[in-house]
Structure 1
Amino acid sequence: MSQKITGAYVKSNRTYTIQEAATVVNSSPQTIRRWVNVLGMKIIDGTRPWLIEGRELKKFASGTRRPKMAKPAPGEMTCMKCRKPRRAYGGMADFVSQDGKTGRLVALCDTCGSVINLFCSRAKLPELSRHFDIQE
């Protein structure tokens, strides 16, 4: 289970080593090194071991959360690859029954082509058939 990276415990006026920074933001040292090497988090010049200012660490740790996905409108399903509500390719979807009452609509994303799902009850199929060409 992944844990949330948080900047809540970072003190802005303190400096942190890589290991201390990883501990305080609840991540791994590799994540902190990636922030420095790839994403450009600033370190204090000329220091060994690397020292990171608290305000810089807090800025990066607070900006790592993904934005919430928008709620899909009628006729849309949430694509996990696009991370946005998308229409089904060609308006077609298959209903896969899980038990007698519930199941899921399975379709392809109109934008990226990945599989998208919408969990629903069998009772909602007539309502959903206004938006999708449903095959059982």
Structure 2
Amino acid sequence: MPMRSAQTYTVPELARTLGVTGAVRGWIRQGLPALNTQRPTLIMGSEAKEFLTERRQAKKRPLHPDEVYCLSCKAPRKFFENMVQLEQLPGKPVRITGFCAICEGSASRVVGAAQIGELERFFEVSGNKDEAA
């Protein structure tokens, strides 16, 4: 069931609507506006939507053209020795893969086919570039 902006929710109702358990009270401690002067605690749908949108935006980390988001490090990183492999599956975007320069774990990034020429400025690209174009 989608969350409605004009509706108020109790903590259990909001949790059920969003499919989470235990997170709503934590969000209230982190700043989710709630009417908690009486029981049950009520949360406006519009305020919950705004809070969750701001939370999502704060977690986004923009990448420079020569970076990848390493899932092991949980941070933007450079590729190990700027060497990448180009992968293109039919009907899919181009994926560049390589290793993180810090932890040497596997890392990848999805790019548009139009960006392949730009990538060659930063990386030593291997793979079939004609398939990706």
Q: What is the TM-score normalised by the length of structure 2? A: 0.54
Amino acid at match of 2:99: L
Matches within 5 A, 1:60-99: 60-65=48-53, 66-67=56-57, 69=60, 71-77=62-68, 79=69, 81=71, 85-98=76-89
The residue number in structure 1 matching 2:41 is 52
Give me the whole-angstrom Cα distance separating, in 2, the residues matched to 1:96 and 1:75: 17
Matches within 5 A, 1:1-136: 8-11=5-8, 16-22=9-15, 26-28=17-19, 30-31=20-21, 33-36=22-25, 38-39=26-27, 40=29, 44=36, 47=39, 51-54=40-43, 59-65=47-53, 66-67=56-57, 69=60, 71-77=62-68, 79=69, 81=71, 85-98=76-89, 103-110=94-101, 113-121=105-113, 125-136=116-127
Percent of paired sites with the same residue: 19
- Is residue 92–residue 134 contact of structure 1 (8 Å, CA) maintained in 2? yes
Structure 1 residue runs of 4 or more that deviate by more than 6 Å after TM superposition: none
Q: Structure 2 vs 1, CA of residues 54 and 124 (structure 1 numbering), >3 Å: closer, same or farther?
A: closer
Segments of 5+ residues of structure 1 without an aligned counterpart are none
**Which structure shows the bigger proportion of residues in helix conformation?**
2
How well do the aligned residues superpose, as a CA RMSD in angstroms? 4.1
Alignment: residue pair count = 116
Larger Rg: 1
Superposition deviation, residue 64 in structure 1 = 2.0
Q: What is the TM-score normalised by the length of structure 1? A: 0.53
Segments of 5+ residues of structure 2 without an aligned counterpart are 128-133
